[in-house]
Each structure stands twice: as C-alpha cells, then as structure tokens.
Amino acid sequence: MLGKPNSSANEVTVIEWKVYMDFRAFYSGNALQFLASRQLAFSELEEVVKRQYADAQLALISSSPVHGIANAASDIDLICVTDDRQSDQSMASQIYHNEHHMEVVAFAREEVHNAFSQLATDAHKATAQKLVAFK
C-alpha cells in the first residue's frame, strides 16, 4: 500500500489516491469535452470574463461541465479571481454569449488566499473536525 510511513491499512492518503485517479486530467477532460460540444474555446470564456471584470487574473469553468454531468440545458458557470473585492455579496453575473447562458462569480485574490489557507489548516484536523469545517 502506498502512503505515508506508519499509515494504517485502512487509511487512505493523498499519495495513494494519486495512483488511482488523475483528478486534473479527469476534470480538464470533462470541461474540454463540454466546450467542444458547445463549439466554444476556453479563450472565448476568458474574453467574456474580462469584459465583465477587467482585472480578472484567472478564470475557471466549474460545476456540471467539469464533473461530467452537464446536459444540453446546462449553463456555463465561471469563477474568476480579481485584484479587489467586487462586492460583499458574491453574486453571479448573468451573461449570454453566442446563445450560451453563463454565470460569472468574482472572488478577490485575498478571499481566495484566505480560503486556501483555512483549507490547509483544516486538512490537519481530525476527520470529525474536518467535516464541521466543511459545513
């Protein structure tokens, strides 16, 4: 069993999961397949995001297209990272691009940094505490 030293037989570690599934390839492949089915390129989505948030530094596609469960009626959910907070309510902007319904939510770089820092802290907690933090 792969894993960290002294791990028990029932413990699943991050190292072990990497052997079984390439999450990056799975999610990227789903997104690319979805975009191809809509005859869209990711660069088009980035342009839509930039028109909405000029200071967007990063744009990500999320939700059903990434998880491989999108259907013909699925909208395109996008997340972007901006330099500054856009509002106190991270509301999605409703956009139509070439007949495709899109929703864009912007998060400030500081919000993203704080969220990932908290996740890193929570990762070292016991399972029950992780579940509480997740909620």
- pLDDT value at residue 96: 77
- pLDDT value at residue 4: 46
- pLDDT value at residue 1: 37
In 3D, which of 43, 106, 34, 108 has the Cα closest to residue 76? 34
Averaged over successive runs of 10 residues, the pLDDT of the chain (135 residues) comes to 48 58 91 94 93 90 92 91 74 78 90 90 87 80
List the domains of the chain with CATH numbers: 14-108 (3.30.460)
Strands 93-97 and 100-108, by their bridges, are antiparallel
- pLDDT value at residue 132: 84
pTM of full prediction above 0.85: no
